[in-house]
Structure 1
Amino acid sequence: MTSIQGNQGIQGGDVDVRTEDGVADAYFVHPDGPGPYPGVLLYQDAFGLRPHLRSMADRLAGEGYAVLVPNVFYRHGRTPVFDLPAFIDPEARPEIWQAIGPVMQALTPELVVRDADAYLRRLEEDPLVTDGPVAVTGYCMGARLALYTAGAHPGRVAAMAGFHGGRLATDAPDSPHLVADRVTAEVYFGHADADSSMPPEQQRRLEEALTAAGVRHRCEVYPGAHHGYTQADTSAYDKDGDDRHWAALLDLLARTF
């Protein structure tokens, strides 16, 4: 673990997490001090573990949390898995999805749940992380991973947040919303208004599933925001939506820990 240059008060660096299927490289960051600190598992979007995701984790660490950001695509290589530009504009570079699409599809719900156990165990065993449940947050595809994780590990996840998630409540037999009856965490979703991957009918289906299961939750739609609105290194970024996301996430964490 090395000190982060230019970020006073936090320390972070690359770590390896052993899973049932190999070793996932990850980024782990925490406040600069003996701790322990509340743990947060942060799931990436489809573009992977990159400088912007690290900066998001740094911000959480600056708020007093120990944050683990795994490379969930580790079966396809260590970070960086994809050759991406510093500023990502999929409309200008549609070939990006030719590389990313098959890798995303290979990460099945079964693999997500299996890996989540390893990520949560890594936090549990770290002396810098407080005993007890942790929080999970995810972005784009990471919102699905976060919901699967909360459903599969209810005793270990106290809070779950998902932002601009897509395909959260489909007709598929393994749709993420179907794990709602196993979730004990408090849940927050910030949907993108202009998001074809999470249309109003899916938003309603997710809300109904959470309500029927008795899950403490809040689902909000961010007006004018597009899928990916928190990701400042992409063309989808929306500052208002990003600011609102930080306020909602930090509020959830403050209530949890």
Structure 2
Amino acid sequence: METVSQVAIQTGQGMMPAYCAVPTTPGPWPGVVVIHDFTGMSHDLRAQADWLANEGFLAVAPDLYYWGSRLKCLRTIMHDIGERRGRTFDDIEGARLWLTNHEGCTGRIGVIGFCMGGGYALALAPGRGFSASSVNYGGCPSDAATWLPEACPIVGSFGGGDKSPLGGRAGQRLDRLLTEFDVPHDVKIYPAVRHGFMNDHDPADATLFLRFLARISGTKYDGEATRDARRRISSFFGQHLRDEAPEDE
């Protein structure tokens, strides 16, 4: 079986391109849907999928910008995340089903996202068929208390130096709510670390608009924090996605 590939996933709106990274260890493996940040399909997104495959997870990273201009897609994304439903959620469900039906997948699926993708990962935690979620600087919406009680286990990573609505304060609130609702979780705030610290983008992937967004959000990659966050995520996913994980989680 090939270790990496470009795939096309059937959705209700057409064929969605995605990047799939396959572990080299004997399968079957748990699956993970990897949801990108504002940059979209990029070197960094493929690297995130490759890292998860190296950890023994079958990873698929869909391109949520496939159907229109970047600005048009972003407008739809912002609306859909606020409503926790819509076209982009249907596309992500297509990716989850693709993994579920993959011959190399155990059928236990996790989701991970970064920035905007972290918002999806949090919104998808309750009642969407995922067994674990990794929320990386994805915020904590004002209505989260109404739906988080039904969430799957969540591992969250936030920057203490991230002053955006997706940053450290959101992480603190998320940790508090998950503790209150007795949802299994591991939320960590990295002191002084800025927004987007896990995304090591190739400058060639960034348009002028995306460079502007990165500048106003204070985005900055941090290797040390990334290594620790990845260690925690891999361990958490291993605990909740492996075959021996309890089925009633």
TM-score by length of 2: 0.79
Counterpart residue number, 1:75: 67
**Distance change (3 Å), C-alpha of 1:178 and 1:142:** farther
1:170-181 map, 5 Å:
170=142, 175-176=143-144, 178-181=146-149
Equivalent residue number for residue 114 of structure 2: 139
* Matches of 1:63 and 1:250, distance apart in 2: 7
- Deviation of the 1:20 alpha carbon: 2.0
How many Å separate the matches in 1 of 2:25 and 2:57?
11
Aligned 8 A contact 1:169 1:203 in 2: no
**Does the Cα contact within 8 Å between 2:156 and 2:171 map onto a contact in 1?**
no
Indicate conservation of the 8 Å contact 2:31/2:58, yes or no. yes
Q: Do 2:114 and 2:196's aligned partners in 1 also have CA atoms closer than 8 Å? A: yes
The corresponding residue for 1:219 is: 187
Q: Is the 8 A contact 2:9 2:15 kept in 1?
A: yes
C-alpha distance in 1 between matches for 2:120 and 2:235: 21
Which of 139, 145, 161 is 1:194 aligned to? 161
The aligned amino acid for 1:149 is L
2:192 counterpart SS class: strand
Q: 2:38: which partner in 1?
A: 46
Deviation string for 1:88-127 (max 9, x for gaps)? xxxxxxxxxx788536435443124323321111001010
Aligned to 2:214: none
Shift of residue 25, structure 1, vs aligned partner: 1.0
Q: Tell me, yes or no, if the aligned pair for 2:34 and 2:111 is still in contact at 8 Å.
A: yes
Q: Quote how far apart the aligned CAs of 1:149 are.
A: 1.6
Q: In the TM superposition, what is the alpha-carbon distance from 1:140 to its structure 2 partner? A: 0.8
CA drift at 1:35: 2.3
Q: Taking every aligned residue pair, what percent have the same amino acid on both sides?
A: 24
Matches of 2:167 and 2:78, distance apart in 1: 21
Contact 2:118/2:135 (8 A) holds in 1: yes
Q: Distance between the aligned counterparts of 2:115 and 2:66, measured in 1? A: 18
Do the aligned partners of residues 54 and 201 (structure 1) sit closer, same or farther apart at CA in structure 2, a change above 3 Å counting? Answer: closer
Q: Distance in 1 between matches of 2:63 and 2:39?
A: 10
Shift of 1:207: 2.7
CA deviation after TM superposition for structure 1 residue 212, in Å: 3.1
SS in 2 for 1:46: coil
One-letter amino acid of the structure 2 residue matched with residue 118 of structure 1: G
Deviation at 1:214, TM superposition (A): 2.1
Query: What does residue 89 of structure 1 align with?
Result: none
Cα RMSD over matched residues? 2.4
Match of 1:250 among 225, 234, 244: 234
Shift of 1:61: 0.9
Residues 177 and 33 (structure 1), Cα distance of their counterparts in 2 relative to 1, 3 Å cut = same
In structure 2, the gaps of 5 or more residues are 203-218, 243-249
**Contact kept in structure 2, 1:52 and 1:233, CA below 8 Å:** yes
Q: Is this contact kept in 1: 2:172–2:189, CA < 8 A?
A: no
Rounded Cα–Cα distance in structure 1 between residues aligned with 2:135 and 2:76: 21
Distance 1:215 1:150 in 2: 11
Is the CA contact 1:152–1:182 (under 8 Å) kept in the aligned structure 2?
yes
- From 112, 121, 124, give the equivalent of 2:97: 121
Shift of 1:204: 4.0
Q: Which amino acid aligns with 2:123?
A: Y
Quote the residue 2:141 is aligned against. Answer: 169
